[in-house]
Amino acid sequence: MSLPDSFERLTVLFRKLPGVGAKTARRMAFFVLQQPVSYAEELAACLSGLKDRIFTCSRCGNITDREPCAVCSDLLRDRSTLCVVETVEDLISIEQAGVYSGLYHVLGGRVSPLDGEDLDEECLAGLVRRIGEDRIREVIIATNPRIEGDLTFHAIVDRLGETDVSVSRLAYGLPVGGSIEFADRTTLLASLESRVTVKRKE
Amino acid sequence: MSLPDSFERLTVLFRKLPGVGAKTARRMAFFVLQQPVSYAEELAACLSGLKDRIFTCSRCGNITDREPCAVCSDLLRDRSTLCVVETVEDLISIEQAGVYSGLYHVLGGRVSPLDGEDLDEECLAGLVRRIGEDRIREVIIATNPRIEGDLTFHAIVDRLGETDVSVSRLAYGLPVGGSIEFADRTTLLASLESRVTVKRKE
């Protein structure tokens, strides 16, 4: 059966979005048809020229529509602490949790031998340069808690040996609200190794 | 933290799509940013004016970009059999399975007392009229196998009493490839009641 061309094309394009299969793409296309015309038009207007309006902050690598970005230009933030993340997605997650008020540095890459990825020399050099120029005192490495993240972590730590800053990384352990029963072995091991002393033997 | 306006707006619009939550919407917006410019532009072009290009077939209720639709104008199909479905989505599912070669009639509604929905009188009258005009010989009612679908089925059957056509409905039973262990009580009951005789006692 031949569906209308523009309907098929819309389904194909929706299907490219992450997490969207054939059936979901079709449901989405139907949804658009069922909405008031304004929905499709607004979405079209928003998509058209999107990449001209949004670019990368030259200081931290965040996405932004002005230079420097909202985080870098916020004078109320702690400008001596730098949180190093792999991607802008990670930055936004930390930012939306509202748990950190320093600055960020987006690597835009990671060390992943299996995928043939490595950190740019320029990426690490840029981090070291920024630490010097912006007088950073503490670097918090917030790479993801898995093999690639750990490799990336070590690459950064190696490189930061030459600088005069404190370096820390996010704690590994039980996710709050989770349960020990469903925790995997590696997480349990990490939570044991990093156990917090509550009372010391006198 | 303030994300770029157009990024936020895109996330809000994506989030309205069925099955998309806040995190998925953000992932989708990032995905669009990471694609070549052509992706966003093509999606925008496809969305803009979509509802002008796609309308409803005046005969069967299918979506189409020409009148009558691809199914209704296909002379190779069995034009004496009419499959009645609740929605265009159902029509497309049956069509893509490639298991039926007659015509369709989309109700565009259903009987659902809990949701305060009922079939239009015009909807049923239109079906009866079409059966007469198009000389339909068999009507296959393909409403969904749940309460609303059954109520809709009975409403149609009541109305078709006045016409001179065969009426059937899709079989209920075990989904092929499923397992008895995971079948629910109602499905098991249906599969027992509609059991197929393999050998008759002599």
pLDDT, tens only, A6-59: 899 999 999 999 999 999 999 999 999 999 999 999 999 999 989 889 999 999
User: Helix A37-47 crosses helix A22-34 at what angle (to 10 degrees)?
Assistant: 120
Mark whether B164 and B189 lie in a shared domain: no
**What token pair was written down for A62?**
């965040």
Mark whether B160 and B181 lie in a shared domain: no
Mark whether A165 and A120 lie in a shared domain: yes
Mean pLDDT of the B52-64 span: 92
Is B91 inside a domain boundary?
yes
Amino acid A1: pLDDT: 63
> Does the structure show a pLDDT above 70 at B93?
yes
Contacts of residue A163, defined as CB under 8 A and 6 or more positions apart, other chains included, come to: A128, A131, A132
CATH number (domain holding residue B17): 1.10.8.420
Amino acid B199: pLDDT: 81
Mark whether B190 and B162 lie in a shared domain: no
Among the partner-chain residues B4, B18, B96, the one whose CB lies closest to the CB of A27 is: B18
Is B61 inside a domain boundary?
no
Three-class DSSP category at B81: strand
Q: Residues of B numbered 95-154 whose beta carbons fall under 8 angstroms of chain A's beta carbons: which are they?
A: 95-96
Is A190 inside a domain boundary?
yes
Q: Residues of A numbered 155-194 whose beta carbons fall under 8 angstroms of chain B's beta carbons: which are they?
A: none
Mark whether A80 and A165 lie in a shared domain: yes
Mark whether B140 and B185 lie in a shared domain: no
pLDDT, tens only, A54-112: 999 999 999 999 989 999 999 999 999 999 999 999 999 898 888 999 999 999 888 98
Q: What domain range includes position A141?
A: 76-169
**Measured between CB atoms, does B48 come within 8 Å of chain A?**
yes
Mark whether B89 and B132 lie in a shared domain: yes
Mark whether A102 and A180 lie in a shared domain: no
Mark whether B29 and B108 lie in a shared domain: no
CATH number (domain holding residue A119): 3.40.1360.10
ipTM of the complex, rounded to two decimals: 0.78
Mark whether B116 and B137 lie in a shared domain: yes
Mark whether A21 and A85 lie in a shared domain: no
Q: How many domains does chain B have?
A: 3
Burial A49-74 (b: 16+ CB within 10 A, else e): ebbeebebbebbbbbbeeeebbbbee
Is B132 inside a domain boundary?
yes
Is B69 inside a domain boundary?
no
- For residue B115, the 8-state DSSP code is G
* Highest mean pLDDT of the ranges A162-166, B27-31, B145-149: B27-31
Amino acid B174: pLDDT: 87
Q: Residues of B numbered 15-34 whose beta carbons fall under 8 angstroms of chain A's beta carbons: which are they?
A: 16-19, 24, 26-28, 30-33
Is A192 inside a domain boundary?
yes
Is B139 inside a domain boundary?
yes
CA–CA distance, B145 with B163 (Å, rounded to integer): 24
Is A31 inside a domain boundary?
yes
Mark whether A98 and A118 lie in a shared domain: yes
Contact A18, B19 (CB under 8 A): no
CA–CA distance, A85 with A71 (Å, rounded to integer): 14
